[in-house]
Amino acid sequence: WEDIKKYANKVIPVIRKEDPDKVIIVGTPVWSQDVDIAAQSPLDIPNIMYTLHFYADTHREPLRDKMKAAIAAGLPIFVTEFGLCDASGSGPINEEQTNLWLKLLNENHISYVMWNLSNKDETSAFLAPTCTKEFDWKEEDLSACGKMIKTYMTK
């Protein structure tokens, strides 16, 4: 975290010269999972959020506990990458763990972005491998993951 913090303290002032008010999202160690460590020594810069990444079938309660500790310490978090499967991007969808994650994120008003908006032949892809469209997707263009997220987002 100290290395990331030193880098952020050098880079963020350069960004702020271009736009002093925009939110900047800063990564955390261990593939953006150590938000609890960042919470112990956050950057002293306004309009900063800290990123968290998870894959529901790999990262379970221990990572949710890290996030809860960071939230309790007042760290603003944005999940800039998550998947419904394991961290390889493949394997089965873990609906139970996905629901636990999304419930926790929503309860804490944490924004999130799913990985990955592609038609790659892997579980984490939002689009079916047969989809060649770039927009105007229909139900049949979505993968199992895409269908689950669409259902979740339209409840």
The string of DSSP letters for the chain reads -HHHHHHHHHHHHHHHHH-SSS-EEE--HHHHT-HHHHHHS--S-SSEEEEEEEETTTS-HHHHHHHHHHHHTT--EEEEEEESS-TTS-S---HHHHHHHHHHHHHTT--EEES--S--SSTT-SB-TT---SS---GGGB-HHHHHHHHHHT-
- pTM here is 0.93
pLDDT score at 43: 98
pLDDT in tens, the chain (155 residues): 999 999 999 999 999 999 999 999 999 999 999 999 999 999 999 999 999 999 999 999 999 999 999 999 999 999 999 999 999 999 999 999 999 999 999 999 999 999 999 999 999 999 999 999 999 999 999 999 999 999 988 87
